[in-house]
Chain A
């Protein structure tokens, strides 16, 4: 059963009149799906940090950068299931692991992080090592260590402790080893037999806990969730629902939602965003960081704290600003020395929603000017899930970049695109939308004219006319493609893959639920997290020689592989 809303449940009353509401009739069943083969996804850098900080504390520094994931099907979360670790990538992970382990055992931290103290710190201590690796390993691997894994860690720790006459150096070495294994670096779909499932397999309780935790909290399962996995509770509907409800109500949900929207909106682009500061002196690295943070705070506050309808993120006037953004938006801030504060744009302001915030506007612009095409493309691809083809390789850009051309506004310049047949097809998709944002320059500062010419921002979104950016935002709010796109991408993010063919009905089922809930993101997350589809696994892929190609790494499989 899906989680009931905590509001007055008119639905139960409405069940009596089910015939009137046929489309959203009570008791609509989740379409059956066969799932996908078990897989493994590399931790993202944020997930890695969250796990380390949850286990060892926020003070542990992780200074290095990870090898980037490849964005696949519009999400890094999907790319994570295609990720490999190169030798240089492994070296980075190893160096980070050494650093984390060193910090964990240093004099300032060992009393807190190591649950026991050896009688003689100059010698190995098997009992204490076991105790430490049992506790830490369970959280790092998201399951108890197997006996062979424990044996590996403990004997490595003992050997080093004996050689260096230092118990803690041994722990450091053993911990480093844990942090560079696939069991830590990858979220692995471990399976076990299940005669009741279509494939004869199901995810283990721990694998379910991992999926749930990385979706909702973007980190490893906590003790309560691991316990639910270990008691078998996660193999029951009630057990799943209890955990989901607990996790959705937790403040950590904000972390999970932030991670999703960072991926969904491709906010990682901020790391490489460059602007011409002679044109935009108000743009600094701090401003860029604030712009990204503003988008995420707005979205999280709206969808998590307020539990307000998702489409309203395009129309809400409520947001947060700091001193850096105050200068760009030309609004006052109460604490110029730093800190975030809630802010509401006046009703007659030109801005409303995340698409008129500096983050979106600057991210999808050029270093020295705005870009209607980039902004329109971002709307199409990220928010409406509509692919815009890449430009052909033989475009003559001199036509558009001629500094002596008589055109003064972007609309004038882009008219040329509309007249070239090889350009018009795609630009018709992007430019009518993007031109609606042209009153905002390359970093989102408002203007009414460009090179002395008044900027015309009227356009249409798939036949829905708009007069300016605010009415464009309203058109986005009203577009059925917006919640449909979010639903599809959120499920892809959760599953780490695009929906399988036989999951299309299920995704529509999710869309219906999303709509019925008033587009509550929390409700959609609940629906996904408590669905059968989210945990369904099909048979692993095999090739003719019978070797398992995409396998789960439980003990049985390792035996088969001879490892």
Chain B
């Protein structure tokens, strides 16, 4: 028979719960998304597409859409050459994109060396008057300013004049950049599945997620990939760690802004962003960038516009290295290069006077996210138990 000895309750002393949430006690700062009472909102950009205004019957491109690199190359070949170069038809259009690109006089890749070809048909560009976008230079007549070159303005679909979107003028008649065109769809898909160049948007100093006249919007790169649900869609409210190097974020440019009735607007300013798509990785700078983001009522997602002056050299680097998708993108690289130089309307080179940037507008959609900053020591304890 056993007897119990010390069955008295002895815990008269209070037991203090001293544990603080791990993330704050470890010196880590983590910001939460979508709760009105929080000080910070976070988003991860999923979709990034150029804003291309299209009419039902392609009225904006009265001469039609551009023909492809491949088509131009194909027209130069005799039947015998066609047979020889395609192994008697075994190599089809989608597979001979590299052959078509290498049509320089000495076999140069004309997308990397567009200036070796001078006689391609000129690029067909947008001739319509309407475009999505923003008035970036502050005037409505397209006249040159200290920061811009003369160019033609657009009118927005709702009738606002002075829209600067020369990028649309450049790419709007190229099948690959239009709705359902493969170039940007492929780029988005590559970003979604690879987790490369994921843009985080952190909105700080938020007193009211619906209306706040003074917020700060900062752009980072995430080192974490999108978590996907069973149907392959991004799951909102996930956490993403900011890419840090040397004690600071690798990106991190900020814009000042406001929130009005749930619509975030910020800018303008110069913002460097990560970019990956169609096998190209780069860090474009969008100058005088503005962002407008309409946040859903529950804070789970948002969509809107980013506009600004895109570095032309970087944009040409991107389009020059598109890879296989150029086979269905349908444009001539030399013609594109030539047209791009003419369309550029921002930041003239002080020596040559040629504009080095091109006004642009992009549609983006972003999901609610937690933006996670590591502590400065870079030792992140996970406290596995």
Contacts and interface: CB of A to CB of B under 8 A. Distances in A.
B236 interface: yes
B383 A341 contact: yes
Interface string B3-23: 111111111000101011111
Interface string B186-230: 000000000000000000000000000000000000001001011
Given A21-B8, A327-B227, A339 B32 contact: no
A11 B1 contact: no
B231 interface: yes
Interface in A273-325: 277-278, 281-282, 284, 297, 301, 305, 308, 318, 320, 323-324
Interface in B321-373: 370, 372
A516 interface: yes
Nearest to A27: B3
Given A327-B237, A330-B237, A339 B382 contact: yes
Nearest to B300: A330
A517 interface: yes
B1 A30 contact: yes
Contact of A344 (B5, B9, B19, B32): B19
Interface residues of A, number: 59
B263 interface: no
A26 B384 contact: no
Contact of A29 (B3, B30, B235, B241): B3
B23 A334 contact: yes
A330 B17 CA distance: 24
B243 interface: no
Contacts of B33: 330
Interface stretch (A2-10, A54-62, A104-112): A2-10
Contacts of A346: 21
A115 interface: no
Contacts of B26: 334
A327 B384 contact: no
Contact of B6 (A5, A278, A301, A512): A5
Interface in A337-390: 337, 339-344, 346
Contacts of A340: 382-385
Interface in B259-274: none
Nearest to A321: B22
Given A10-B10, A11-B10, A340-B383, A332 B32 contact: yes
Given A30-B2, A332-B23, A344-B21, A14 B384 contact: no
Contacts of A331: 32, 370
B241 A336 contact: yes
Contact of B240 (A9, A11, A26, A336): A336
A130 to B, nearest CB: 41
A322 to B, nearest CB: 9
Contacts of B66: none
A513 interface: yes
Contact of B1 (A32, A282, A284, A305): A32
Given A26-B5, A336-B239, A340-B384, A281 B21 contact: no
Interface in B229-288: 229-231, 233, 235-241
Interface string A221-263: 0000000000000000100000000000000000000000000
Contact of B380 (A30, A281, A334): A334
Nearest to A300: B385
Given A333-B372, A334-B382, A531 B2 contact: yes
B3 A318 contact: no
B229 A513 contact: no
B5 A12 contact: yes
A1 B3 CA distance: 5
B237 A326 contact: yes
Given A277-B229, A332-B30, A334-B372, A11 B238 contact: no
Contacts of B4: 2, 26-28, 30, 513, 516, 527
A367 to B, nearest CB: 13
B58 interface: no
A229 B28 CA distance: 51
Which interface class (under 10, 10 to 19, 20 to 34, 35 or more) fits B? 35 or more
B6 A333 contact: no
B67 interface: no
Contacts of B227: 323-324, 327, 336
Given A1-B3, A2-B4, A336 B380 contact: no
Nearest to B32: A332
Contacts of A339: 382, 384
Contacts of A518: 9, 11
A323 B239 contact: yes
B99 interface: no
A503 interface: no
A320 B385 contact: yes
A530 interface: yes
Nearest to B375: A334
A28 B22 contact: no
Contact of A513 (B7, B21, B236, B380): B7
B34 interface: yes
A68 to B, nearest CB: 26
Nearest to B37: A348
B31 interface: yes
Contacts of A530: 2
A317 B8 CA distance: 28
Interface in A528-543: 530-532
Given A297-B385, A331-B32, A334-B28, A516 B7 contact: yes
A464 interface: no
A341 B237 CA distance: 17
A337 B241 CA distance: 9
B8 A14 contact: yes
B268 to A, nearest CB: 30
A89 B372 CA distance: 50
A335 interface: yes
B372 A336 contact: yes
Interface string B64-86: 00000000000000000000000
A4 B239 contact: no
Contacts of A297: 385
A29 B3 CA distance: 4
Nearest to B380: A334
**Most chain A beta-carbon contacts within 10 A, residue among B1, B22, B31, B32:** B22
Nearest to A308: B15
B382 A335 contact: yes
Contact of B238 (A237, A301, A305, A323): A323
A516 B31 CA distance: 43
Contacts of B2: 1-2, 29-30, 237, 530-532
Contact of A2 (B5, B31, B370): B5
Interface of B: 1-11, 15, 17, 19-23, 26, 28, 30-35, 224, 227, 229-231, 233, 235-241, 370, 372, 380-385
7 contacts: A10-B8, A11-B6, A27-B5, A28-B7, A326-B237, A330-B32, A342-B19
A-B complex: 9 closest residue pairs judged by Cβ atoms: A11-B6, A332-B370, A332-B30, A516-B7, A339-B382, A281-B229, A11-B8, A30-B2, A336-B239
